[in-house]
Chain A
Amino acid sequence: MPGKMVVGYDGSPAARRALDYAVAAAKAQNASLVIAHVLEWSPYSFLTKEEVEERHMRRTQELERAETHVIGPVREKLEKSGLGIETAIRYGHSAEILLKIASDTGGTQIVVGRDGNGGLAARMFGSTAGTLVQIATLPCTIVP
């Protein structure tokens, strides 16, 4: 059975490297791709009254922007590659949602990029790649 790779993609240089790697690997393994974009979101953060009021509008805008500027161009570019491509745009915690997308779409492995900043911020707040390694139930590839 051909595999399905879930690639975390946010348009950053690290994400592009991950995508390039996944495309090459998918071609070699005859696998298909799920390009997943996660908009970081916690239902437990605090909002002002105006933010509450405008949230639905902003969410719609954010989803549109994600589609036209992040996922759309990639889908277009890869359409000619002959690979099976699915896309997903979701809200939530990046690592958790990537896993969720993998289980929803029947993914067999996850590919994410890493920006290589092992600084204080990453230590304090964790990184998507780091968290993913901790909680993943599927094989993960971290592309440096």
Chain B
Amino acid sequence: MFKRFVAALAAWPLLALPALAQDEPVGGIDATINQIFADYTGWYVALIFADLPGTNFSWIALWLVVAALIFTFYFGFIQLKGFAHSIKLVKGDYSDPNDAGEVSHFQALATALSGTVGLGNIAGVAVAIGIGGPGATFWMIIAGLFGMATKFTECTLGVKYRNEYPDGTVSGGPMYYMVKGFKERGLPGGSVMAVLFCFFTILGALGGGNMFQANQAHSQIANVVGEFPGFITGIVLAVIVWLVIAGGLKSIAKVTEKVVPFMGIFYVIVSLLILIMNYDMILWAFGQIFVGAFTGLGVVGGFTGALIQGFRRAAFSNEAGIGSAAIAHSAVRTKEPVTEGYVALLEPFIDTVVICTMTALVIVITGVLNLDPETGLYVWNSEAGRISTEGEVQGVALTSAAYARALPWFPVLLMVAVVLFAFSTMLSWSYYGLKAWTYLFGEGKVKELIFKFIFCVFIVIGAAASLGPVIDFSDAMLFSMAVVNVIALYLLMPIVRGELDHYVKRLRSGEIKKFN
């Protein structure tokens, strides 16, 4: 999901604001709310997204990339050494047949992925390439590969410190490992951090996980069928979400959960098809990506421009370090917490390294980016601050244009995909938000309904209004989750190391055996 809102985050001044501005008639109240939010929260948003002095590289992106590097080295390149084992776990090679009927590793991975694969893989990549050139892809892949170690760390902890209740249900996530893990290591402040994390999660769920989704879903529908008031989309979505999360209409959630993975698979297949159709250009495209990674190919900012865009996109896109994946994975019943970490490290790989690269290759190969035939460099549109393209589009529209060159019917499919991805992201984040909510306020039917109602109200607001500063603020909340979560990960990583060493030892000695 993260990709989705992040996609627009980078494209904020270019894409999201105009999209929001279209709904201006809703008017007066928006302006007031915007003003209030801007006045009181603007400083916080500015702080979270502040660039490092003398660069246009935000410190929060560096924070996530550095964390990924540290975890990679600390766990001895677990994403390389453990990759084959991850695949075997997902295949079920180590699953005890007597546990059949419990959630399998494959199901855990698929459920977590459906919350992360989405618009970011479609739009975020286009934004990165549009601004940073094809070379951004290279850095995005590198950052995605390192992010695998972050996911490994947080998901292992999520399972290890979850709460199990007498009725058999489980609750877990950063708030639980902050409290229990800190206590185990004799560190202070665990409960304060947990409360902070939950606070950020609730606001992040309402913003990036909700308002932004509703807003993008509406603008995408409006793109295809023509302009109409956003509150209509908002109310329809809100009613459906309400029926699912409060009305117990599980069948819609089930259908979404089954359709979204196929959407993702279909997207990859279509991409591969286009690549096969242009097989003679694949090597050239990789060449552009590698050369562009170090020279920029005429992109303003050159090598650093590509690096910054790629890192930003990946760091923001695979949700590694945010803590949401730890909530999703902790519900899985497994005897070994480390196995869940192994499975989770595949997420950034599938999401960033595989799917994002597909989008990138198609955009480069189909030639939607204007190339100067004489110099072999990309034509820079300095007014828009990005590479000149056919029709001067970017974001989702750029991806759509690239795919439409090969397959004219693709934009319609893309609309369906965007709406479905937005919907499944809302369901995922309503879950994360509710977990944080019940952690703070306790469980109970009424308390939970209050959160669910607020959540649905925000869908209507998100789809109908132009609430730039409000959404900026909730985006800042999501990154705040990462600040708190990564600190906890640093403090608790020796515990994960202990778990890993113990597991690998038993794996080698044959104590943990293969069943298939």
Contacting residues, chain A, for B101 (C-beta < 8 A): 39, 41, 59, 62-63, 91
A interface footprint on B98-116 (CB within 8 Å = 1, 0 otherwise): 0011111011101100110
Q: How far is the CA of A61 from the CA of B95 in the complex (A)?
A: 21
Contacting residues, chain B, for A47 (C-beta < 8 A): 103, 107, 110-111, 257
Residue from the list B107, B168, B254 in contact with A52, Cβ < 8 A: B107
A interface footprint on B239-259 (CB within 8 Å = 1, 0 otherwise): 000000000001001101110
Q: How far is the CA of A46 from the CA of B104 in the complex (A)?
A: 10
Q: How far is the CA of A92 from the CA of B100 in the complex (A)?
A: 7
B interface footprint on A10-54 (CB within 8 Å = 1, 0 otherwise): 000000000000000000000000000001010111111111111
Question: How many A-B Cβ pairs are below 8 Å?
Answer: 81
Q: Is the CB of A55 within 8 A of B100?
A: no
Asked if A114 is at the interface of the complex by the 8 Å CB criterion, the answer is no
88-131 of chain B: CB within 8 A of chain A: 92, 95, 97, 100-104, 106-108, 110-111, 114-115
Contacting residues, chain A, for B261 (C-beta < 8 A): 46
Interface size on A, residues (CB 8 A): 25
Q: Is the CB of B168 within 8 A of A46?
A: no
Chain B min CB distance to A68 (Å): 17
Q: How far is the CA of A78 from the CA of B431 in the complex (A)?
A: 48
Interface residue tally on B, bucketed by range: 20 to 34
- Closest residue of chain A to B262 (Cβ to Cβ) is A46
Q: How far is the CA of A3 from the CA of B252 in the complex (A)?
A: 49
Chain A min CB distance to B256 (Å): 8
Chain-A contact segment, one of B51-59, B185-193, B326-334: B326-334
Asked if B169 is at the interface of the complex by the 8 Å CB criterion, the answer is yes
- Closest residue of chain A to B245 (Cβ to Cβ) is A50
Asked if B427 is at the interface of the complex by the 8 Å CB criterion, the answer is yes
Contacting residues, chain A, for B384 (C-beta < 8 A): none
Q: Is the CB of A91 within 8 A of B250?
A: no
- Closest residue of chain A to B104 (Cβ to Cβ) is A43
Q: Is the CB of A49 within 8 A of B168?
A: no
Asked if B167 is at the interface of the complex by the 8 Å CB criterion, the answer is yes
Chain B min CB distance to A7 (Å): 20
| Contact A55 B333, CB 8 Å, known A43-B104, A45-B107, A46-B258 | yes
Contacting residues, chain A, for B269 (C-beta < 8 A): none
- Specify the main secondary structure of chain B where it touches its partner: helix
Chain A min CB distance to B8 (Å): 24
Contacting residues, chain B, for A60 (C-beta < 8 A): 168
Contacting residues, chain A, for B111 (C-beta < 8 A): 46-49, 52
290-323 of chain B: CB within 8 A of chain A: none
Contacting residues, chain A, for B104 (C-beta < 8 A): 43-44
Asked if B210 is at the interface of the complex by the 8 Å CB criterion, the answer is no
64-97 of chain B: CB within 8 A of chain A: 92, 95, 97
Asked if B170 is at the interface of the complex by the 8 Å CB criterion, the answer is yes
Asked if B352 is at the interface of the complex by the 8 Å CB criterion, the answer is no
Contacting residues, chain A, for B250 (C-beta < 8 A): 48, 50-51
Q: How far is the CA of A46 from the CA of B113 in the complex (A)?
A: 11
Asked if B428 is at the interface of the complex by the 8 Å CB criterion, the answer is yes
B interface footprint on A59-90 (CB within 8 Å = 1, 0 otherwise): 11011000000000000000000000000001
Q: Is the CB of A91 within 8 A of B103?
A: no
| Contact A48 B257, CB 8 Å, known A41-B101, A53-B331 | yes
- Closest residue of chain B to A41 (Cβ to Cβ) is B101
- Closest residue of chain B to A62 (Cβ to Cβ) is B101
Q: How far is the CA of A45 from the CA of B256 in the complex (A)?
A: 13
| Contact A46 B100, CB 8 Å, known A57-B168, A60-B168 | no
Residue from the list B95, B169, B253 in contact with A56, Cβ < 8 A: B169
Contacting residues, chain B, for A50 (C-beta < 8 A): 250, 253, 431
Contacting residues, chain B, for A59 (C-beta < 8 A): 101-102
Chain A min CB distance to B485 (Å): 19
Interface residues of B (CB under 8 A from A): 92, 95, 97, 100-104, 106-108, 110-111, 114-115, 167-171, 250, 253-254, 256-258, 261, 328, 331-333, 427-428, 431
Known pairs A46-B111, A48-B256, A49-B427 / 16 extra A-B pairs, C-beta < 8 Å: A44-B106, A46-B114, A47-B107, A47-B110, A47-B111, A48-B254, A48-B427, A49-B115, A49-B428, A50-B431, A52-B107, A53-B171, A56-B103, A56-B169, A57-B167, A92-B97
